[in-house]
């Protein structure tokens, strides 16, 4: 089964990527509020935050990327 020379490293590599991803999720606090996070997708139909508030749209210099929205409060 020489093919395992390919398959085992691939499987281990994927496993290590998974392990690294898990470490990252743990580190970045992805599991701090599972009850709330399960609920949050249910209200992603937000009230129209942007139209409701005094917002001005800045021209985006670099094409599409910076969806910058300036408004009358101090950025932190």
Partner 1 sequence: MIASLTRDDRDAAVLITTLGVAIGLLMTAVGWGDPLAVHGVIVMVFCGGLLFLVARNLNAPLPGNDRLASYYDDPTRVGVLLALTWAVVGMVMGVWVASLLAWPDLRFDAAWSSFGRLRPVHTSGVIFGFGGNALIATSFHIMQRTSRARLPGQIAPWFVLLGFNLFCIIAASGYLMGVTQSKEYAEPEWYADIWLVVVWVAYFTLYIRTLARRNEPHIYVANWYYLAFILVMAVLHIVDNLAVPVSFSGVKSYSAFAGVQDAMIQWWYGHNAVAFFLTSGFLGMLYYFLPKRAERPIYSYRLSILSFWGITFFYIWVGSHHLLYTALPQWVQTLGVTFSVMLLVPSWASAGNALMTLNGAWHKVRDDATLRFMMVAAVFYGLSTFEGSFLALPPVNSLSHYTDWTIGHVHSGAMGWVALISFGSIYALTPVLWRREAMYSAKAVEWHFWLALSGTVIYVFAMWNSGLTQGLMWRTYAEGGTLRYSFLDSLVAMHGYYIARAFGGLLFLIGAMIALWNVVMTILRVPVLVPALDYPTESEAFEPAVPAE
Partner 2 sequence: MRADVCVDERGAGSIRFSVANLRCGGCVATVEHALRARTDVAAARVNLTLRQLVITLPRPDTDLDPIIGSMAALGFPVTPVASVGASGMAADGAQEASVSKGLIRALAVAGFGAANIMALSVGSWAGAEGITRTTFHWLSAAIAVPVVLYSGRPFFLSAWSALRGGRVNMDVPIALAVGLTLLLSLFEMLSGGAHVFFDAAVTLLFFLLAGRTLDHLMRDRARSAVTGLARLAPRGAHVCQPDGGLVWTPIDRVEPGAVVAIGPGERIPVDCCIIDGMTDLDRALVTGESVFVPARPGDSLEAGTLNLTGAIAARVLRPASESFLAQIIAMQGEAETTRGHYVRIADRAARLYAPFVHIAALLTFVGWLVATDGDWRRALFVAISVLIITCPCALGLAVPVAHVVAAGKLLRMGVLMKDGSALERLADIDGAVFDKTGTLTTGAPMIAAGPIAPADSAGAMALAMASNHPAARAIARYLDCKPGMIADAIEVPGDGIEACVDGKRARLGRAGWVGEITTVPAAMDGPVFGFAGGPAVQFELSETLRQGAHAAVATLRAGGLAIAILSGDAAPRVGRVATTLGVREAVANAKPADKIAWLEQRRGDGRRVLMVGDGLNDAPALAAAHVSMAPASASDAGRTAADFILLREGLDGVPEAWLTARATARVVRQNFIAAFAYNIVTIPLAVAGMVTPLMAALAMSASSIIVVANALRLNGGARPGASGA
Are 58 and 69 in contact, with CB atoms under 8 Å apart?
A: yes
Binding residue for partner 2, selected from 47, 48, 63, 64, defined by CB under 8 A: 47
Binding residue for partner 1, selected from 16, 39, 54, 61, defined by CB under 8 A: 39
Q: What's the chain's Rg over C-alpha atoms?
A: 22
Three-state SS at 35: helix
- DSSP structural state of residue 57: E
Beta bridge partners of 71: 55
Binding residue for partner 2, selected from 6, 35, 65, 67, defined by CB under 8 A: 35
| Residues lying near partner 1 in the complex (CB under 8 A) | 1-3, 6-7, 10-11, 14-15, 17-18, 22, 25, 28-35, 37-42, 44-51, 55, 57-60, 63-71, 73, 75-76
């Amino acid at each position: 089964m020489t093919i395992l020379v390919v398959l085992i490293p691939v499987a281990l590599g994927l496993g290590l990527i998974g392990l690294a991803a898990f470490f990252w999720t743990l580190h970045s606090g992805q599991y701090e509020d599972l009850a709330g996070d399960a609920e949050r997708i249910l209200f992603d139909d937000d009230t129209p935050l942007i139209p409701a508030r005094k917002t001005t749209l800045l021209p985006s210099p670099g094409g599409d990327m910076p969806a910058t929205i300036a408004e009358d409060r101090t950025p932190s």
